[in-house]
Structure 1
Amino acid sequence: MRITLRQLQIFEAVASSGSTTAASEQLALSQSATSAALNELENLLSATLFDRVGRKLIINDNGRALLGHAKQMLSMARTIEGQFNGEQGVSRDLIIGASTTIGTYILPALLARYRSRYGEVIPRITIANTADVATAVANFDVEIGFIEGPCHVRGLRIEPWIKDELIVVAAPEHEPGSRKSRQKATPSTLAKAKWLLRESGSGTREAVEDALLPHLHYITEGGVFSSSEAIKHACMAGLGLACLSRLVVADLLAQGRLVEVGTTLPRMSRNLYMIYSAGKTLSKPLTEFRNFCRVWQ
């Protein structure tokens, strides 16, 4: 086998930066050495990995087919180095992907408690919707992910993590039903309302549809937003109803700027999941972090 880890490292750097010049700066190599290594890799594989567009190198189908394998091999090499270099050589960085609610409302407290128990750690967190987090884990862009809905990406280990309560909220002046008579909103009443929803691909969107559609049969969109923060403020402004995690709206409920809508629906909740690659050998710090997350509550 003539392919080297160095060639794969250079290939990965070119794929992420779009040029051999930027990759050479990233890896502290000369531009000529970077170009030579990339050319040698392409010759060994008898395949062109990038399309040359002006000065840019755009990864093509061959390159995309190789990229996941390259990242997996480089990740395993780093893990081996860490395991055999002793504790001083093991990175304390945690490269995490998290969907919005988890990254904003759960991970900060979890990481603070983890740091207080295990010492200094530097979290590097990418926040995106569930589909994008799952893809990032599968592509080895992040080491571990936390998502709010079912995962549809192959090659991942998926662990049910914690339960998250979902509630219906409204601006006080737009609450359906009658608070004075304690009349709860029925499915027929809720079906007539306009709903503020997350975008397609969001775990929250999928969980809300799974919770509401069996009872309402259809949901009328009052607006589509890329974050739960935007939804709760749009709801506060009276643009429609929202079904969100209690964690997300706790502050506005306490301030009286949103109210929880009493309904005749069954109690709603969803599973949050922890995901990591089935093909990744977890380093000691990452295994330690995963095990902590399993029992932290």
Structure 2
Amino acid sequence: MPTLHIGASATLARYVLPRLLADFRARHPAVAVALYPANSAQVARALLRGELALGFVEGPERLPGLRYERLLFDELVAVRGATPAGPPAAPLALPEALGHPWALREPGSGTLAVVEAALLTHGVRLADLPAPRYFTGNEALKAHLLATPGALGFLSRRALMAELVSGQLEEIPIRGLYLARPLAAAWRTGEVLPLAAQQFIRLCDLSCDCLS
């Protein structure tokens, strides 16, 4: 049985690809799929080394030697631990938001790359933040926010739906901070994709409008 090796960043691996993988397996039961979750930079490096047939990545970075095909757009939001019975959070100006402790994904993640690019449009660097904390994985970052009053975290809305609906976390709009990002498939430039990878890309093209 042939195996299709796919790498995917955290948001895509947990919140986008499972539905597509289930559909693919139903359509192509003779193909096994191995999914390797990692951050976007790690997925890109594995593609360049030839360890994966396909990668699914977040954020703006585009590496030489890889071809990218946009699947859909995603939105990052700023959140904090919710105040019990408190009023809805008022929007913050960026200088006010910078006064809070920030919780961010680790270097190499597409999430951090988007936050960094958005800050640079305002002349702010990550090094300018007051003692930011970095977390490997969405769940560790959310746990920190729940345990640390006043901390601001930045994650995909897709990764936060349960906590926002339950009221554990609340969204904090930050005026002027644009945090949309593309989610994309990637593979090595000039490489003839295996048939299974071609079939998976076609399925993504057909399905992603339903996932937006």
Q: TM-score category by the smaller chain?
A: 0.7 to 0.9
Q: Does 1:224 align with 2:104?
A: no
1:204 corresponds to: 111
Q: What TM-score results when the alignment is normalised by the length of structure 2?
A: 0.86
Aligned twin of 2:24: 114
Deviation at 1:193, TM superposition (A): 1.1
Q: Structure 1: which amino acid aligns with 2:192?
A: T
Which segments of 5 or more consecutive residues in structure 2 lack a partner in the other structure? Answer: none
Give how far 1:294 is off. 2.0
Between 112-121 and 157-166, the greater mean CA deviation after superposition: 112-121
- Counterpart residue type for residue 33 of structure 2: P
| Mapped partners of 2:95, 2:157: distance in 1 | 23
CA contact (8 A) 2:145 2:152 kept: yes
CA contact (8 A) 2:78 2:152 kept: yes
Aligned positions of 1:60-139 closer than 5 A:
91=2, 93-119=3-29, 121-139=31-49
Counterpart among 132, 143, 154 of residue 53 in structure 2: 143
Query: Could you say what the CA RMSD is over the residues aligned between the two structures, in angstroms?
Result: 2.2
**Match of residue 263, structure 1, among 158, 174, 179:** 174
* 1:276 is the counterpart of 2:187: yes
Q: Determine if contact 2:135/2:141 at 8 Å carries over to the other structure.
A: yes
CA contact (8 A) 1:188 1:216 kept: no
The one of 188, 198, 204 equivalent to 1:293 is 204
2:76 alignment partner, SS class = strand
**What do the CA deviations read for 1:71-92 (whole angstroms, capped 9, x no partner)?**
xxxxxxxxxxxxxxxxxxx72x
Evaluate the alpha carbon distance shift between residue 189 and residue 160 of structure 1 in structure 2; reply closer, same or farther with a 3 A threshold: same
User: Distance between the aligned counterparts of 2:114 and 2:188, measured in 1?
Assistant: 23
- Matched with 2:153 is 242
How far apart, CA to CA, are the structure 2 residues paired with 1:162 and 1:99?
Answer: 14
Residue in 1 that maps onto 2:121: 214
Equivalences, count: 203
Choose from 79, 82, 87 the match for 1:169.
79
Structure ranking higher in strand proportion? 2
Whether contact under 8 Å (1:96, 1:145) holds in the other structure is: yes
Cα 1:263–1:155 shift into 2, 3 Å = closer
Residue of structure 1 in register with 2:97 after alignment: 190
Distance 1:247 1:234 in 2: 18
Please give the alpha-carbon distance, in whole angstroms, between the structure 2 residues aligned to 1:120 and 1:231: 38
Shift of 1:104: 1.6
Is there any run of 5+ residues in structure 1 with no aligned partner, and where?
Answer: 1-89
**Aligned-partner SS, 1:165:** strand
| Matched-pair identity in % | 33
- Highest relative contact order (Cα 8 Å, sep 6+), 1 or 2? 2
The question of whether the paired residues in 1 share the 8 Å contact of 2:9 and 2:58 is answered with yes
Normalized per residue, the structure richer in helix is 1
Deviations 1:1-25 (CA, angstroms, capped at 9, x unpaired): xxxxxxxxxxxxxxxxxxxxxxxxx
Query: Which structure is larger by alpha-carbon Rg, 1 or 2?
Result: 1
Shift of 1:266: 5.0
1:45 maps to none
The verdict on how the C-alpha distance between 1:221 and 1:149 changes in structure 2, with shifts beyond 3 A counting, is farther
